[in-house]
Amino acid sequence: MSFAQARDRTTEITLYVNQSSVIQFDQPLSRVSIAQPAMADATIISPTQLLLIGKAVGSSSLIAWSTVAPEQPVTFIVRVVAEIEPIVKQITTLFPSEQIRVEQVDGRVILSGTVSSQRIIEAALPLFEGTGLKPVNLTQVASLGAPAQVMLQVRVAEVNRRVLRDIGATYSWWDPRNPRGQNEAAVGPNQFNAPQARFANSPLGPDFTFSDVVNLFIFNPATSLGAFVRALHQRNAFRSLAEPNIIAVNGQEASFLAGGEFPYPVVQPTSSGFASISIVFREFGVRLGFTPTIVEGNRIRLKLAPEVSALDFVNALQFSGFRVPALITRKASTTVELQDGQSFALAGLLSNDMTRVDSKIPLLGDIPVLGYLFRSQSYIKNETELVFLCTARLVNPVGVEELPPIPGQQEWKQEGFQGPFGHRTPVTDQPTPKPEKKK
């Protein structure tokens, strides 16, 4: 290593982690100093030799003084990198037909290029664990072309669990040919001898049919839960909370919130010793976050995080004149994989409410002591279950020329709209009637 050349331009020294290197100088060394001792060790082992040992990934400056010109120190740049060449060879061996480029930059390993499937990257990224490098995926899936988008059609509903339990006990269809007893096939209404038979003992009323049950427990997205959902609606056993349609680019997160924000006070100390109260808003309601990933075979992998929260004034907190409600939260997190157009139901978020009903005979129920003979108390236990009914579809944007006509668009003439005083009315061939003059 020449001191004269190092003074003219910046010289870089590259090391591997947990490896050492001996640097030979053309002048005797008096002392050296490295800015990041935790990254590398520098030791003078002879008048003209310096031993460098890489300890952690990173870069640092190294200043060296010579005995010939001690007033003119020289600065070097020391870079400590991870040895990824064996991993790159392993990726090439495992995936010889893939075009994956690997580059190490400032403590990160960047993967770029084109792959045939998302599963290739999912298998390659774990190979860099233990190197101390943060992997960054910049690859693209060749089969997708332009970035694909996923639309998630969601129906969030709250179902009376007691009614569903009664229905399941009454209308389960048992098949002796099935070893498990219960028929699990996708049964259609036309497969029953009497698909429209009515049941007088149904919790939903005598107009409830067996064919309606099939649409709930064997989800058919083409029927949108069919007449059974409508029957539940009419009897207040099924309450739809939200029906969003969310679109997200492949690999990007999307979220939806139907609810609101409620204020709550936050105490903050001040420099004067007094406390100040500020108002912070927190969201509540029905929230759904999902991240779609399109994998091999145009299958859709969804990472879902549904959450439903409501204000609870029963457990509210009284604070400095404020009544801050608590939050009742039901949430889950899961990952599913399905084909384009397939549907699934996510359930199990339960809520139990106990209600006390007091009834009494007027006047007689208010008599002290004897009034208890004319009163009655009953408790109603209400069990509800939160259900997310989701359908995932692959979608592509369309141009303006590909848009279908708006319903009724052909009925309007090409002349456009006209009307007096700025009122825009459709043009017709009929004359506009004139207002009658008052006598």
Domain count of the chain? Answer: 2
pLDDT of residue 119: 79
Is residue 8 one of the residues assigned to a domain?
yes
pLDDT at 37 over 70: yes
Which residue range(s) make up the domain with 31?
3-81
pLDDT at 279 over 50: yes
Q: What is the 3-state secondary structure of the chain?
A: CCHHHHHHCCEEEEEECCCEEEEECCCCEEEEEECCCCCEEEEEEECCEEEEEECCCEEEEEEEEECCCCCCCEEEEEEEECCCHHHHHHHHHHCCCCEEEEEEECCEEEEEEEECCHHHHHHHHHHHCCCCCEEEEEEEEHHHCCCCEEEEEEEEEEEEHHHHHHHHHHHCCECCCCCCCECCCCCCHHHCCCCCCECCCCCCCCCCEHHHHHHHHCCCCCCCCHHHHHHHHHCCCEEEEECCEEEEECCCCEEEEEEEEEEEEEEEECCCCCEEEEEEEEEEEEEEEEEEEEEHHHEEEEEEEEEEEEEEEEEEEEECCEEEEEEEEEECCEEEEECCCCEEEEEEEEEEEEEEEEEECCCHHHCCCHHHHHEEEEEEEEEEEEEEEEEEEEECCCCHHHCCCCCCHHHCCCCCEECHHHCCEECCCCCCCCCCCCC
Is residue 56 one of the residues assigned to a domain?
yes
pLDDT at 407 over 80: no
Q: Are residues 47 and 89 in the same domain?
A: no
pLDDT at 137 over 50: yes
Of 133-147, 183-197, 261-275, 316-330, which range is least confident?
Answer: 183-197
Q: Are residues 10 and 62 in the same domain?
A: yes
Please report, for the domain that includes residue 21, its CATH number.
2.60.40.1080
**Residues 82-134 pLDDT 10s:** 888 888 888 888 888 888 888 888 778 888 888 877 778 888 888 888 777 88
Q: Are residues 64 and 98 in the same domain?
A: no
pLDDT of residue 338: 86
End position of a domain, from candidates 95, 114, 145: 145
> What is the arithmetic mean of pLDDT over 135-160?
76
What's the pLDDT band for 165 if we cut at 50, 70, 90?
low
Is residue 70 one of the residues assigned to a domain?
yes
Please report, for the domain that includes residue 127, its CATH number.
3.30.1340.30
Is residue 133 one of the residues assigned to a domain?
yes
End position of a domain, from candidates 81, 97, 115: 81
> What is the arithmetic mean of pLDDT over 357-376?
68
Is residue 41 one of the residues assigned to a domain?
yes
Is residue 66 one of the residues assigned to a domain?
yes
Is residue 29 one of the residues assigned to a domain?
yes
Q: Are residues 63 and 30 in the same domain?
A: yes
Q: Are residues 10 and 70 in the same domain?
A: yes
**Residues 328-346 pLDDT 10s:** 888 888 888 888 888 877 7
pLDDT at 5 over 70: yes
* pTM of the predicted structure, to 2 decimals: 0.47
